[in-house]
Amino acid sequence: MTTPSFKSSAIKSSTAKGNSKLKLHSRNPHRAPYNFPLLADSCPELSHFIIKNKFNNASIDFANPDAVKTLNRALLNHFYGIAFWDIPSGYLCPPIPSRADYIHYLADLLADSNGGVIPRGKSINVLDIGIGANCVYPIIGHQEYGWRFLGSDIDATAIEAANVIIKANSLSSAIQCRQQAKKEQVFSGIWPEQKRFDATLCNPPFHRSKAHMVEQVERKWQGLKQGQQQKESRLNFGGQSHELWCDGGEEGFIKRMIIESQQYGDQCYWFTCFVSKQSSLSGIYATLKRVRAEKVKTVNMAQGQKNSRFVAWTFLSSQQRDFWRDHHWQLDRG
């Protein structure tokens, strides 16, 4: 194998000149400010949560989990045609714009391997590690590009909730779920025998413990003059323990994922994983070098005022990738 390059990919988000707000992907339909009256037309219950912000513009209370969940329901209905979407109380309610960004940059990664043409249609199979109760990545990936998904999760309730969403929206032929029985495993136990995936994606647990999570959130808000009641409401965001923290935090999780990915190196074109902290990259790169990944890319993204990225790696040689593309991608270019 050749020595991998650890340069950042040319697939990067852009920042408008003179505008400090980082931009979402050019194909992301959530680049514009939320049009709350229009979204309320798609989801009438959203109207109960619409308020005026300090600029006298329509908004919602983003510290209210019910308001945020209803906003997500409206976005998924309006932009992706999802008639039913709900999650159990206390489960992670992810921001739709940033989830869509990962999908669009993943499409660019595949296009970069395909002469600039985004591979679309049901011949493209994606594995979502940690599908959650929300099922958001598969919904966006299928509705935008026609890809098929397998989603895994260690939580039986999350799998059940995702399956309800899938069935209610007639997506069973496009999205399937499998429960991971062993929390220390990532791919083993859920990867179907001989199955090929064109990409994997994952939004790993960020924190290394609950105490670390609370400490980080408190630090974020300690400089702001807020009452204790408001501060506590900001700490009370959705997410089960396995969605928010794990041994070693995101870096530890991704290193374990990389090591296990070796077992499936000839069954996947691109492994990818979201990396929230730039400080995690050096350890991730070192692990990728140790397992002799053939090629590594870092794809930069943006979330509001924050830079983010996902790391992608493959064990396939250039010749193997060409063969894969030519023989397995029966492309729907519509």
pTM of the shown model: 0.85
Query: Identity (one letter) of the amino acid at 96?
Result: I
- Compute the Cα dihedral for 249, 283, 128, 145 and give only its sign: positive
Per domain, the residue ranges of the chain are 89-328
- Give the span between the Cα atoms of 181 and 179, in whole angstroms: 6
**Residue 157 confidence (pLDDT):** 96
Direct distance between the N- and C-terminal alpha carbons of the chain, in angstroms, rounded to an integer: 36
List the one residue out of 264, 67, 240, 121 whose CA is nearest residue 185.
264
Helices (H), 183-317: 210-221, 228-235, 241-244, 249-261, 281-290
**Residue 248 confidence (pLDDT):** 56
**Residue 234 confidence (pLDDT):** 44
pLDDT digits 0-9 by tens, 131-185: 999 999 999 999 999 999 999 999 999 999 999 999 999 999 999 999 999 988 9
* Sheet (strand 125-129) strand order: 175-179, 148-153, 125-129, 197-202, 268-275, 306-314, 295-303
Which residues, listed in sequence order, are joined to residue 58 by a DSSP beta bridge?
A: 52
Average pLDDT estimate for 54-75: 95
**Residue 304 confidence (pLDDT):** 62
- Give the span between the Cα atoms of 240 and 90, in whole angstroms: 7
On whether the CB atoms of residues 250 and 302 are closer than 8 A, the answer is no
Average pLDDT estimate for 58-62: 95
Quick one: fold of 89-328? Rossmann fold (3.40.50)
Q: What is the DSSP string of 156-212?
A: HHHHHHHHHHHHHTT-TTTEEEEE-S-TT-SSTTTS-TT--EEEEEE----BSSHHH
pLDDT digits 0-9 by tens, 249-281: 899 999 999 999 999 999 999 999 999 889 999
